[in-house]
Amino acid sequence: DAGVTQSPTHLIKTRGQHVTLRCSPISGHKSVSWYQQVLGQGPQFIFQYYEKEERGRGNFPDRFSARQFPNYSSELNVNALLLGDSALYLCASSWGLAGGNEQYFGPGTRLTVT
Amino acid sequence: GENVEQHPSTLSVQEGDSAVIKCTYSDSASNYFPWYKQELGKRPQLIIDIRSNVGEKKDQRIAVTLNKTAKHFSLHITETQPEDSAVYFCAASIRGNNRLAFGKGNQVVVIP
């Protein structure tokens, strides 16, 4: 019974580069959400997808984009990386969108921008 | 948008004592309030949650209370053990959806 998986585990990029992070939800879950967790802070909501459509977006610049595929996996893309983008990027999956649908987190991708 | 405040930031307790973490939220449309435990270098793990139609929920040594009128909710850990040492995050659903706004976290240290 696999949980949420993310790849890669760690990533080091330089300023100005582009990065793609990947997430596979728990089998049967149709919603994927992305969060950014800066060291010492709580996760901050970036995007939510359900049935391949964007259903919510947090307060992040247009350099951040995402998509969801027919198999419900998802990618988060970040362009023109800044030092401040260094963080743990967490993916969470849930069955649906209604309040009360538990979100289960993946192990995260640790992104370091130098 | 939703704003979640979490207090205190750090809490040290003797093993066997109780720990209480309090959170407040701002969006009256929030209807789901989960708590996550995050150990160093690991993913946040859901430990308990409460929905807006109940005031209290308990699971073994962990309990959560919700006061919708005052817009605050609390996590109670009884008979603390060293393995309870971690960062605990409260969260509230955003605009009735299940996407979450998190507090800044509370470092709980259980002293053996």
Output A17 or B41, whichever has higher pLDDT.
A17
B31 Cβ under 8 Å from any chain A Cβ: yes
Q: Cα–Cα distance between B88 and B47 in angstroms, integer?
A: 9
- Specify the pLDDT at position A8: 97
- Specify the pLDDT at position B95: 80
Question: How would residue A18 be classed by pLDDT, with cut points 50, 70 and 90?
Answer: very high
- Specify the pLDDT at position A1: 52
Chain A residue nearest residue B43, CA to CA: A107
Q: Which residues pair with B56 in a beta bridge?
A: B65
Q: Cα–Cα distance between A85 and A90 in angstroms, integer?
A: 13
What is the DSSP secondary structure assignment for residue A83, as one 8-state letter?
G
Helix (H, G, I), strand (E, B) or coil at B93: strand
Query: B3: which 2 tokens?
Result: 């704003």
Q: Cα–Cα distance between B70 and B22 in angstroms, integer?
A: 12
Rounded average pLDDT over A31-46: 95
Output B95 or A35, whichever has higher pLDDT.
A35
Tens digits of residue pLDDT in A53-69: 999 999 999 999 999 99
Mutant choice from B30, B42, B43, B90 vs A, greatest count of A C-beta within 10 A: B43
Query: A59: which 2 tokens?
Result: 């307060």
Residue A46 backbone zone (phi > 0: left; psi -120 to 50: alpha; other: beta): alpha
Does A96 sit within 8 Å of B30, measured CB to CB? Answer: no
In angstroms, how far apart are the furthest CA atoms of chain A?
A: 39
Interface list for B 51-110 with A (CB within 8 A): 51-52, 89, 91, 93-94, 96-105
Q: Cα–Cα distance between A103 and A96 in angstroms, integer?
A: 9
Q: How far is CA B74 from the centre of its chain?
A: 6
Q: How many CB atoms lie within 10 A of CB B72?
A: 17
Question: How would residue A86 be classed by pLDDT, with cut points 50, 70 and 90?
Answer: very high
Chain A residues close to B43, C-beta within 8 Å: 90, 105-108
